[in-house]
């Protein structure tokens, strides 16, 4: 960054660990809050109105949702221990839960919703703690397919709202209001540039509300009756602890959608890291785990308060990239604005007064973008025929079950009608096919030992035997040997750097001081994949990220490289790809080595 605070060549004015002027941080926080508070409020509005809930519960649920979103947005920014990403990640109500929350309220009441949200949030904490163990099951293909199915599941509910207007309203009111909202949002989003594009949803909702006011269906009286400062009437629903058929029938769906929300949070926490530093860095999965844990806290608080669950908002990434300000103080400011808004009934009443057709048009555009996001997640993972089959079959299974055209008489009686929800049916199909691929993949060979240079001869024997069993020649065996040796030496070098940092008293990356390592082990898993081999090294976490150091090789000036870089240079030339995932308790380095004649060049 230049001395005047102007953008660097990477577009970042203030990176995540810097402090911009307080006025700038608050201004950006206020902008982010205004951009997203309508979405935070409209999700519980859609859920409760669609389920036939009363106005007292609606007001309470909206208040609780905004307050919880504020608290958890601050938590994401400041990071307490292992909870929170340490980045600007806004939290808000999750559209993924609309369908299951409507069903919960309709079948069991608000107390049933609260119970299901609390219980399902516990699974998110478990996922955060053991994120590395599920990386082969909750793949981008599974996540992308489920995200596409969210739109399929929620759209019928949203379309029903298009006609929700008071009796005696002119017939043209609903379609004109919805059309005005959608057209403004779409036109601005298609043609505007920069900051104006981010304001497209807000401008569209304001336009639609103005048209609704012309027809007399915008509830101005609700705003006039609301106070300026205060709390809504206490509408906490309590808990349904009967644990009857409705609970057990809906619990799997809630758990599944909670995991989907965690996947969405995972994607947002990866994306925000990409745009928050001047110098490109590889993803730190400890921050990802913290983001998922904070998401779990948000869902737990939402359940305890009796409102709909929340998740991270990808708007954080867009605004950070646009403004070049990634400082944590912006996230604190957003949370503070949310908390203040929760105690301003007139502000919330202005949003609650938005009629159904306007809200439906707004949500329709957002769900359309969500569908495209799911497609992008699937495609960006690399779409071979296996992944394409998993995504395609699972998607259409979800669509068929959602619309009741696949053996409806039989499906209705299975697990309390669980598979009548398209997102659940399609998601479980995607997971089942992914598990099948894992179980039927070529047998994985395992080697485990202490993380020490003395294990090198034994590891070479293991890789040589693996090459022989796989039918590869000496040249391929040599490549595997070289890749294994260089990866081990690199991991050892990282451990030495970690030890040196601990001796110097430097803070550990997760906050606090590092602890002495105990029983550090290396697990090497090798298996065939196509024309090559995949070697997965699992070791105790170090302070440095392998991908960071590989990326730096191309940036250094010419000259004699230091010893630790020589190992990485050799690894780049031996392996066709190197990926590093860093968690709180685990480092996972995945190295792909192609057979001679099939090398496509190294990537990281």
User: The CATH number of the domain where 451 resides is what?
Assistant: 3.30.565.10
Q: How confident is the model at residue 510 (pLDDT cuts 50, 70, 90)?
A: very low
Average pLDDT of the chain, as a whole number: 77
544 falls in which pLDDT band (50, 70, 90)? Answer: very low
Question: What's the mean pLDDT in 516-527?
Answer: 71
Q: Give the whole-number percent of the chain exceeding pLDDT 90.
A: 8
Would residue 228 count as lying in a domain?
no
In terms of phi and psi (left: phi > 0; alpha: psi -120 to 50; beta: otherwise), the region of 575 is: beta
Q: Which two tokens stand for residue 256?
A: 């599944």
Q: For the chain, how many structural domains are there in total?
A: 2
- Please indicate whether residue 400 or residue 506 has the higher confidence score (pLDDT): 400
Select, from the ranges 114-118, 341-345, 379-383, 406-410, the one with the highest average predicted confidence (pLDDT).
Answer: 114-118
Q: What is the mean pLDDT of residues 123-140?
A: 72
Over range 358-363, report the average pLDDT: 82
Does the pLDDT of residue 68 top 50, yes or no? yes
Q: What is the pLDDT of residues 243-288, one digit of tens each?
A: 888 888 888 878 877 877 777 787 678 778 877 887 766 667 778 8
Establish if 575 belongs to a structural domain.
Answer: yes
Please, which contacts does 197-205 make with residues 24 or more away whose CB atoms are closer than 8 Å? 198/35, 198/315, 198/318, 198/319, 198/322, 199/35, 201/35, 201/38, 201/39, 201/362, 201/365, 201/366, 202/34, 202/35, 202/38, 204/361, 204/362, 204/365, 205/38, 205/181, 205/354, 205/358, 205/359, 205/362
Same domain, 147 and 289: yes
Task: Identify the CA nearest to 429 among candidates 459, 407, 453, 397.
Answer: 397
- Is residue 329 one of the residues assigned to a domain? yes
Are residues 269 and 123 located together in one domain of the fold? yes
Please determine, for residue 199, whether its predicted confidence score (pLDDT) is greater than 50: yes
Above 70 in pLDDT, residue 162?
A: yes
The answer as to whether 282 is a domain residue is yes
State the average pLDDT over residues 409-421: 61
Q: What is the pLDDT of residue 281?
A: 66
pLDDT at 424 over 50: yes
Cα separation of 87 and 320, whole Å?
Answer: 10
For position 431, what pLDDT does the model report?
Answer: 85
Q: DSSP string of 168-199? A: T--TTHHHHHHHHHHHHHHHHHHH--THHHHT
The encoded tokens of residue 401 equal 């079950």
Please report the pLDDT score of residue 322 as a whole number. Answer: 63
455 vs 197: which has the higher pLDDT: 455
Q: What is the pLDDT of residues 89-110, one digit of tens each?
A: 889 888 778 878 888 898 888 9
In what helix (H) or strand (E) does residue 534 lie, and over which residues does it extend?
Answer: strand 532-539
On whether both 148 and 39 belong to a single domain, the answer is yes
Contact assessment for residue 73 and residue 91, using Cβ atoms and an 8 Å cutoff: yes
**Element containing residue 329 per DSSP (H, E):** helix 328-342
Res 578: pLDDT = 77
| Residue ranges making up the domain that contains 477 | 445-502+519-594
Q: What average pLDDT does this structure show over 485-490?
A: 84
Residues 136 and 285 both lie in one domain: yes
pTM over 0.95: no
Residues 328 and 477 in one domain: no
280 and 132 in one domain?
Answer: yes
Q: State the Cα–Cα distance between residues 29 and 335, nearest whole angstrom.
A: 8
Q: What is the pLDDT of residue 117?
A: 92
Flag whether pLDDT at 413 surpasses 80: no
- The confidence score (pLDDT) of residue 599 equals 45
Query: For residue 566, what are the contacts with CB-CB under 8 A and spacing of at least 6?
Result: none
- Same domain for 450 and 344: no
* Mean pLDDT value across residues 200-217: 85
Q: Do 452 and 350 share a structural domain?
A: no
Q: How much is the average pLDDT of 367-381?
A: 75
Mean pLDDT, residues 528-540 = 81
Instruction: Give the highest mean pLDDT range of 350-354, 380-384, 431-435.
Output: 431-435
Whether 248 is in a domain gets the answer no
Under the banding of pLDDT at 50, 70 and 90, the label for residue 81 is confident
Residue that is last in its domain, among 302, 320, 354: 354
State the pLDDT at residue 328: 87
Helix (H, G, I), strand (E, B) or coil at 602: coil
Q: How confident is the model at residue 118 (pLDDT cuts 50, 70, 90)?
A: very high
Residue where one domain finishes, among candidates 354, 370, 403: 354
Question: What pLDDT, on the 0 to 100 scale, is given for residue 553?
Answer: 41
Q: What is the pLDDT of residue 494?
A: 64
pLDDT at 207 over 80: yes
User: How far apart are the C-alpha atoms of 578 and 550, rounded to whole Å?
Assistant: 9
Residue 239 domain-assigned? Answer: no
**Residue 414 falls within a domain, yes or no?**
no
Q: Which pLDDT score is estimated for 303?
A: 92
pLDDT at 36: 75
Give the residue, 180 or 559, on which the prediction is more confident: 180
For position 474, what pLDDT does the model report?
A: 87
Q: Report which of residues 499 and 487 the model is more confident about.
A: 487
User: For residue 74, is pLDDT > 90?
Assistant: yes
Residue 316 lies in a domain: yes
Round to whole Å and give the CA distance between 327 and 12. Answer: 10
pLDDT digits (tens, 9 = 90+) for 429-477: 888 898 888 788 777 888 888 888 888 999 999 999 998 888 888 888 8
- Token pair for residue 35? 């951009």
Instruction: State yes or no: pLDDT of 586 exceeds 80.
Output: no
Rounded distance, CA 440 to CA 528, Å?
A: 12
Instruction: Determine the pLDDT at residue 318.
Output: 66
Last residue of a domain, one of 354, 379, 404: 354
pLDDT for the residue 601: 42
């Amino acid at each position: 960054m230049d001395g005047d605070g102007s953008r660097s060549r990477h577009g970042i004015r203030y990176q995540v660990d810097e402090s911009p002027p307080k006025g700038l941080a608050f201004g950006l926080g206020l902008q982010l809050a205004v951009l997203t508070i309508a979405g935070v409020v409209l999700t519980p509005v859609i859920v409760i109105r669609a389920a036939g809930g009363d106005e007292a519960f609606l007001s309470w649920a909206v208040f609780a949702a905004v307050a919880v979103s504020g608290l958890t947005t601050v938590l994401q920014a400041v990071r307490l221990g292992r909870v929170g990403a340490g980045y600007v990640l806004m939290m808000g109500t999750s559209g993924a839960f609309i369908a299951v929350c409507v069903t919960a309220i309709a079948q069991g009441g608000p107390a049933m919703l609260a119970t299901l949200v609390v219980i399902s949030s516990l699974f998110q904490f478990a996922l955060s703690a053991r994120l590395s163990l599920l990386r082969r099951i909750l793949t981008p293909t599974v996540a992308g397919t489920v995200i596409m199915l969210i739109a399929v599941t929620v759209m019928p509910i949203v379309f029903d709202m298009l006609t929700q207007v008071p009796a005696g309203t002119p017939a043209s009111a609903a379609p004109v209001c919805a059309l005005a909202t959608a057209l403004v949002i779409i036109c601005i989003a298609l043609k505007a540039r920069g900051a104006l594009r981010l304001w497209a949803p807000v401008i569209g909702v304001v336009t639609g509300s103005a048209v609704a006011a012309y027809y007399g269906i915008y509830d101005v009286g609700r705003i006039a009756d609301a106070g300026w400062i205060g709390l809504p009437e206490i509408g906490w629903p309590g808990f349904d602890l009967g644990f009857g058929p409705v609970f057990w029938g809906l619990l799997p769906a809630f758990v599944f959608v909670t995991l989907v929300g965690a996947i969405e949070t995972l994607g947002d926490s990866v994306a925000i890291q990409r745009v928050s530093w001047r110098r490109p860095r590889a993803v730190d999965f400890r921050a990802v785990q913290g983001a998922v844990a904070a998401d779990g806290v948000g869902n737990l608080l939402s359940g305890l308060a009796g409102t709909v669950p929340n998740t991270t908002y990808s708007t954080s990434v867009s605004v950070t990239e646009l403004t070049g300000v990634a400082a944590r103080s912006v996230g604190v400011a957003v949370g503070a604005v949310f908390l203040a808004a929760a105690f301003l009934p007139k502000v919330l009443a202005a949003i609650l007064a938005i009629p159904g057709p306007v809200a439906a048009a707004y949500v329709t555009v957002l769900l359309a973008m969500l569908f495209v996001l799911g497609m992008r997640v699937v495609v960006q993972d690399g779409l071979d025929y296996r992944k394409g089959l998993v995504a395609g079959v699972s998607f259409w299974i979800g669509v068929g079950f959602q619309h009741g055209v696949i053996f409806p008489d039989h499906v209705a009686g299975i697990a309390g009608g669980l598979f009548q929800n398209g997102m659940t049916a399609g998601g479980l199909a995607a997971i089942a096919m992914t598990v099948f691929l894992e179980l039927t993949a070529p047998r994985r060979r395992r080697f485990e030992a202490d993380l020490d240079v003395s294990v090198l001869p034994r590891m070479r024997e293991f890789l040589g035997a693996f090459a022989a069993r796989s039918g590869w020649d000496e040249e391929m065996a040599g490549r595997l040997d070289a890749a294994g040796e260089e990866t081990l030496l690199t991991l050892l070098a990282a451990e030495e750097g970690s030890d040196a940092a601990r001796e110097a008293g430097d803070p550990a990356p997760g906050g606090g001081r590092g602890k002495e390592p105990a029983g550090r082990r290396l697990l090497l898993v090798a298996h065939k994949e196509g024309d090559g081999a995949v070697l997965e090294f699992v070791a105790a976490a170090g302070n440095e990220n392998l991908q960071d150091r590989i990326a730096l090789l191309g940036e250094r000036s010419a000259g004699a490289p230091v010893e630790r870089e020589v190992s990485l240079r050799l690894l780049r030339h031996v392996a066709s790809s190197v990926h590093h995932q860093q968690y709180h308790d685990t480092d996972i380095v995945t190295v792909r080595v192609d057979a001679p004649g099939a090398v496509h060049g190294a990537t990281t």
